Structure formats: structure tokens, C-alpha cells
Amino acid sequence: MFRLILLINVLFPLVAYSQNLIPNPGFEQHTGCPEQPGQIHLASHWFSPNMATPDYFNDCSPGLDYGTEFNKKGGQVAHSGHAYAGLQFYNLNRNEFFEYLETLLDSALIAGQLYCIRGFVSLGQSAYAIKEIGAVLSVNELKGEQSKKMILPHTPLTSGKYLDDQNEWMCIRGIYKAKGKERFLTLGNFTQGDDFWHIQLRSATDSLFKSSYYFIDDLSLFAIGDSSECNCNQEK
């Protein structure tokens, strides 16, 4: 009996640390197949917190526009499985359009606990790249007005360089220390000011249009003991 209790005490922390708290992290579970823009609601557990329209891509799409390998935003083979989401950020002469993804976590975060937030992104059809995707963890559902940028304190998810790879998936990650009872995760761009970085020339008529588009897949949020455990090994 003593050995059984000891074994449970040893294994329980390992189970707790390995649990991914994000439901449907690879956007595989769906209620329908995408065939037009702004259908992230078809991916179970995911929704938009503002009036913008994040996209959903799945191999089951009846046409090419919202499939995976080739689609309206440039295309990319899914990092794993058959689906992923898409986020667009743009600023046209101070007219902003910023898309976000939000989900309800499987359980609330524990005060004082460190958590690793990780995902994989690939740059879609874009003239600009950015350096980070932001993550906001909140007790209540996040709601933004219209489709403008939500400037909020956030955890930067980075790869250590500009997110400019259009051929491969880039691992991004960040560490968050929980205040306690956070249940919602929102992903997007929350920075103050203009953080677009030019990667290829557009025509002069597009000089005021700054736009980036990212595919995002295989998200995870899990408890860690220290920062060394937040790495790009896809074990969770």
C-alpha cells in the first residue's frame, strides 16, 4: 500500500506537467469544412473575440481556397494532421484590421505556477513579417471592439528572430507565471505601435498597406518546473 501511494505521488506531478490545457490544439476537430473566409467557428472550441474574421483551413475543404497545401493565402502542409488556423494583421493608412483566436482552457491556471505556451507558425502570402505572436491569459472571456488591434499586456511568443519563413513551420514559445484562475487564452498581436517588418517589395500604390498573414498549428499550454522545460520538442 505504501509503495502504491509513493508511486502515485511520484507520477501525479509528471501527469500534471505533461497535460496540454488547450482543447483541439491542432484544429483537427471540426463541425464543418471551410469554404469561405472567417470560418474559424468550424474548428471546435475556437472563436474570434472581436469583429475580425480569422480563417480555418482543412483538407476536407470542397475547394482549393481553404484547403491546406495550396490555398487562398499561399498554402502550407499542416504541421501535423489535416488542419490549421489563419490570422491576418494589417494597417492601411491607420485603418486597422487585426484577427485573434480565443479558446476556453480545459482547466484554470494555478497561481504562481509557470506555464509554457508554444505553437507553430508559418508566414502566408504577405509583404511584411512580425517578430512575435502575443498570448493573453485571462479569467474572463476577452472581447474587443470592431476589428482594431487590442493593445494589452501579453506574453510574447517568439522564435528569436522575425517570423519570416514561408516554406517551413517556425516554433514560437513563451513562459507565463499564472496569477490564478485564468481560463481563457487569446492569441494575436497586442503590441503598441507599428511592428511590421518589410520582407519583400510591393508596388508603390501599396506603400501605405502593411499586412502580415500567419498560419498557426499545434498549440500547447502546459505547466513547467523551470524555463528549460519550455522548448520546441513536441512531446505535449
| 145 within some domain | yes
**How many structural domains comprise the chain?**
1
CATH number for the domain spanning 82: value is 2.60.120.260
Pairwise CA distance, residues 150 & 98, whole Å: 8
| 170 within some domain | yes
* Residue 117, pLDDT score: 98
Residues contacting 203, CB < 8 A, separation 6+: none
* Residue 101, pLDDT score: 98
| 205 within some domain | yes
CB–CB of 151/139 below 8 Å? no
| 93 within some domain | yes
* Entry pTM: 0.90
Q: Per-residue pLDDT tens, the chain, 236 aa: give them.
A: 444 444 444 444 444 557 999 999 999 999 999 999 999 999 999 999 999 999 999 999 999 999 999 999 999 999 999 999 999 999 887 789 999 999 999 999 999 999 999 999 999 999 899 999 999 999 999 998 799 999 999 999 999 999 999 999 999 999 999 999 999 999 999 999 888 888 764 544 456 788 999 999 999 999 999 999 999 986 65
| 62 within some domain | yes
* Residue 6, pLDDT score: 41
* Residue 207, pLDDT score: 60
Host domain of residue 13: 2-229
